[in-house]
A = this chain, B = another copy of it.
């Protein structure tokens, strides 16, 4: 265990008892609420050795949790990592996972303060709990969407699924599409936009895109009791994503709707808020795109394409497993 702490940085001066005792103790920031989330990754279900290096695994595990904190508008702070290690994995490989985790933690000023390491006869299983902070009452909820809101998305979508397609089916081409591969193996969470939204005063709805835009839009629609109408042609797809889709004879929009793991934010905000948000994103050099609108009605998501509307199915697909 101790060897796994090499390379770890402590980013907080509020740690009272650090990793190594029965539990860690920290002093919460005054006048801040505590945000907490937990995400698990299982080898063969969430990643394959052929698609992800050890460092990628550690990096992406933290990103998936950062993305949940971002979707609440929080600032990430402390992490605990539980890892169940199969006999077939070498200590050096596990150290590499921690190195990837520490790289991502350092970029986001997150400190690993605890966890558990056990053995397993099954696949490598990693579970990370991430804490964060947000001003009381400011956390972004899925339930805040209101008719008249603009639906927006950060960054581009579909790249992660395109990258995974390449890694699974055309690994020899991965150097031709480095941004797609990176979108899948080294995604970044949209923490700064999330913080802006939380402090904006507009009470936007927000969700992170871990399972594809379709599923996340449905979650907002159901939690808010509204209809989301999304114009497919406005979805921000990269040229690289479209190129790989063409090569694969697949529809790149399917990747955007259902591919997932983009770790962008989708949200809704009233029109004057949208103007301010677009300006703030421009100043921080972050791409943000209006993709639709919120209407009153039975909770659902409609896709608008070439002027026609159709209801959009809720579920994405699972790349590796049947369950």
User: A-side interface residues toward B, CB under 8 Å?
Assistant: 16-17, 21-28, 32-42, 44-46, 68-69, 71-72, 74, 78, 80-84, 87, 113-116, 118-123, 125, 127, 129, 131-132, 134, 136-137, 139, 141-143, 206-208, 223, 321, 323
Contact = CB atoms under 8 A, between A and B. Distances in A.
B122 A120 contact: yes
Contact of A42 (B16, B122, B139): B122
B136 A17 contact: no
A80 B79 CA distance: 13
Contacts of A114: 36-38
A131 B21 contact: no
Q: Which 10 A-B pairs have the closest CB atoms?
A: A122-B122, A23-B37, A22-B71, A127-B127, A129-B129, A82-B127, A119-B323, A28-B28, A38-B80, A22-B68
A25 B21 contact: no
Nearest to A142: B21
Secondary structure of the A side of the interface? strand
A25 B16 contact: no
Given A21-B142, A23-B72, A25-B33, A82 B38 contact: yes
Number of copies: 2
Contacts of A323: 87, 119
A125 B82 CA distance: 11
Given A34-B34, A36-B80, A78-B36, A21 B118 contact: no
Most chain B C-beta atoms within 10 Å of own C-beta, residue among A32, A40, A42, A139? A40
A40 B72 contact: no
A84 to B, nearest CB: 5
A23 B82 contact: no
A17 B84 contact: no
B35 A121 contact: no
A266 to B, nearest CB: 11
Contact of A33 (B22, B28, B45, B137): B28
A72 B18 CA distance: 12
Contacts of A35: 23-25
B28 A137 contact: no
23 contacts: A21-B143, A21-B223, A22-B72, A22-B208, A23-B132, A24-B37, A25-B74, A25-B134, A26-B36, A36-B114, A36-B131, A38-B82, A38-B116, A39-B116, A42-B121, A44-B121, A45-B118, A45-B119, A45-B121, A80-B129, A122-B123, A127-B127, A129-B129
